[in-house]
Amino acid sequence: MAKEGIDPPIWDKGIGVRIVAYAGIIAFPNLKRHASLVNIEVTKRFTREKDKKLAWLYIISVASFFIVLIVFYLFLEPDKILR
């Protein structure tokens, strides 16, 4: 992307919020978006097969984490565990 003169967003110089935007664009390329934090067309153009696998790994990991949190909260009664 740097060869084409495309810089990362000024507002996010670390990995930060961009990872969520990139993973969503890479994993769901045909989803209609009205706005995005990053350049959608450039992201689609530079996506490699490895990036697709990593995006899906990220999305599955985050979803699994939240599912585990909900299960622990609902079934293990955190008030009893923390006392």
Which tens digit of pLDDT belongs to each residue from 18-64? Answer: 788 888 888 888 878 777 777 788 888 889 999 999 999 999 999 99
3-state class (DSSP) for residue 33: coil
pLDDT at residue 67, rounded to an integer: 95
As for how many domains the chain has, the answer is: 1
Question: Which residues does 12 contact at the CB level (< 8 Å), separation at least 6?
Answer: 18, 37
pLDDT at residue 51, rounded to an integer: 92
What is the domain range of residue 28? 2-82
